[in-house]
């Protein structure tokens, strides 16, 4: 068993969620004491898993530009919307993790965007700024799951690193369930880089360059 302190629930509150496309669902939002990184991560508990089934879980890293402002430069907003509905239908948890820009922060992410406008891909831009390709650590996510009594999951993710880190942290990942593919004229290079650089499970043949005009 990995050696890290236990977290405990701080508060639980029911919140009705409403999305721009008309989809709505009630969720329980859970906050925590004792998370190792001291950040205000949030668990969004959705639906009720059938007895004997493994909950569907997504680790969703905060993306202000995509989740809130609908930026077309990434696929984060559509992934969040999809995840809420899929998890609610089956029963499980979405962990909303305050790890903007793969953990480098909002300002650094926007600095990296400026370099991408000059031709670098998302990982090259981070490196040019002296930052890691991906600075995220999922210890707090494992703490949150254990606090909710969850030690086995099906993970809704295209990212093999998330599954690998959770397993190393003592969470059993039975299946890694891919998300949808949400391409725009502005995010194709970004998605291709994720496939080529960090082996995300996206259909590379579908991610062809398109004009942003």
Q: What is the rounded CA–CA span in Å between residue 159 and residue 172?
A: 16
Q: What is this structure's pTM?
A: 0.88
User: Catalytic pick from 111, 121, 134, 154?
Assistant: 134
User: Catalytic pick from 58, 86, 136, 176?
Assistant: 136
Per-residue pLDDT at 86: 97
CB atoms within 10 A of CB 53: 13
Residue 16 has pLDDT above 70, yes or no: yes
Please provide the average confidence, as pLDDT, over all residues in the chain: 88
Residues in the chain: 213
Residue 207 has pLDDT above 50, yes or no: no
> Among 194, 178, 186, which residue's Cα sits nearest to residue 210?
186
Question: Which CATH code is given to the segment(s) 8-99+136-206?
Answer: 3.40.50.10990
Strands 42-46 and 8-18: unpaired
User: What are 127's two structure tokens?
Assistant: 């490196």
Per-residue pLDDT at 189: 61
The most distant pair of C-alpha atoms in the chain lies apart, rounded to whole Å, by 52
Is 134 one of the catalytic residues? yes
Per-residue pLDDT at 123: 86
At 39-77, the pLDDT tens digits run 999 999 999 988 889 999 999 999 999 999 999 988 899
Per-residue pLDDT at 208: 56
Q: What is the rounded CA–CA span in Å between residue 87 and residue 92?
A: 5
Per-residue pLDDT at 212: 39
Q: What is the rounded CA–CA span in Å between residue 200 and residue 194?
A: 6
Query: What is the separation of C-alpha 94 from the centre of its chain, rounded to a whole number of angstroms?
Result: 8
């Amino acid at each position: 068993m990995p050696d890290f302190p236990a977290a405990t629930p701080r508060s639980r509150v029911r919140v009705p969620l409403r999305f721009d496309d008309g989809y709505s669902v009630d969720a329980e939002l859970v906050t925590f004491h004792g998370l190792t990184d001291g950040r205000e991560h949030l668990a969004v508990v959705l639906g009720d898993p059938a007895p004997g089934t493994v909950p569907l879980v997504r680790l969703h890293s905060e993306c202000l530009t995509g989740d809130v402002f609908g930026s077309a430069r990434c696929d984060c907003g559509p992934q969040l919307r999809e995840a809420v509905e899929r998890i609610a239908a089956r029963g499980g948890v979405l962990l909303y993790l305050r790890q903007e820009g793969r953990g480098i922060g909002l300002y650094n992410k926007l600095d990296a965007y400026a370099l991408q406008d000059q031709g670098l891909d998302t990982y090259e831009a981070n490196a040019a700024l002296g930052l890691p390709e991906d600075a995220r650590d999922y210890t707090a996510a494992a703490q949150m799951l254990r606090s909710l009594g969850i030690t086995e999951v099906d993970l809704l993710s295209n990212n093999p690193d998330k599954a690998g880190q959770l397993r190393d942290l003592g969470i059993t990942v039975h299946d890694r369930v891919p998300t949808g593919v949400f391409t725009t004229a502005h995010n194709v290079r970004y998605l291709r880089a994720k496939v080529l650089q960090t082996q995300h499970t996206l259909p590379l043949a579908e991610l062809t360059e398109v004009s942003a005009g």
